[in-house]
Amino acid sequence: HTRLRARAFVIVSPCNGRRVAFVSADVGLLTQAVQQQVIAALRATYGDLYGDANVVLSATHTHSGPGGYSHYTFYNLPTLGYNEQSFRAVADGIVAAIRRAHDNLAPATIRLATGVLADASINRSPEAYARNPAAERARFARDTDTEMTVLRFDGADGAEIGLISWFPVHATSM
């Protein structure tokens, strides 16, 4: 019901010029084939500036995204096989997001925050979790992980550029 996207940040160290491209893509998972296609496309444009060591691809794990874009049969079973159009849309969308981030590099600051976000999600199987060993369950206050981590990017003028957040929830419905 909502357009799916790939969002990217390129971060360059002012100390040594090393960079990392981080992408969050609205897909269920990302495969080696997608990573290889993205790296090949970036190398065609930027040479060795981006590669396996500094391109991080992350999936939101949406259950409402395309399928059939893996080169592994198991992942394509629910969609009845590989679909080149889906593969191209995912890989090309990620490359486009990285190119936009690369082209829009500007001085910025990064802030990190972590905190508890209680009552924002539930364990989809409390009964199964309760069957874990007591020693393991005793390590946690709840049957779900409630810690959220956020990286916030602010421009030199103090305006928010964007953020990346990590919160362990398994979205299984639209």
pLDDT in tens, the chain (174 residues): 578 899 999 999 999 999 999 999 999 899 999 999 999 999 999 999 999 999 999 998 888 888 899 988 888 888 889 999 999 999 999 999 999 999 999 999 999 999 999 888 888 788 999 999 999 999 988 888 899 999 999 999 999 999 999 988 776 554
At residue 97, the pLDDT reads 98
State the pTM of this model: 0.88
In sequence order, what are the residues at sequence separation of 6 or more whose Cβ sits closer than 8 angstroms to the Cβ of residue 90?
Answer: 6, 25, 27, 30, 34, 66, 69
Provide the 10 A C-beta neighbour count for residue 105: 12
At residue 61, the pLDDT reads 85
| Residue 57 host element (H or E) | strand 55-59
Return d(Cα 42, Cα 36) in angstroms, integer: 10
At residue 25, the pLDDT reads 96
Q: How far is CA 108 from CA 7, 63, 99, 158, in A?
A: 17, 33, 18, 8
Return d(Cα 2, Cα 165) in angstroms, integer: 19
Please list the residues that pair with 112 across neighbouring strands. Answer: 151
Return d(Cα 90, Cα 62) in angstroms, integer: 13
Q: Are 52 and 39 in contact (CB under 8 A)?
A: yes
At residue 77, the pLDDT reads 86
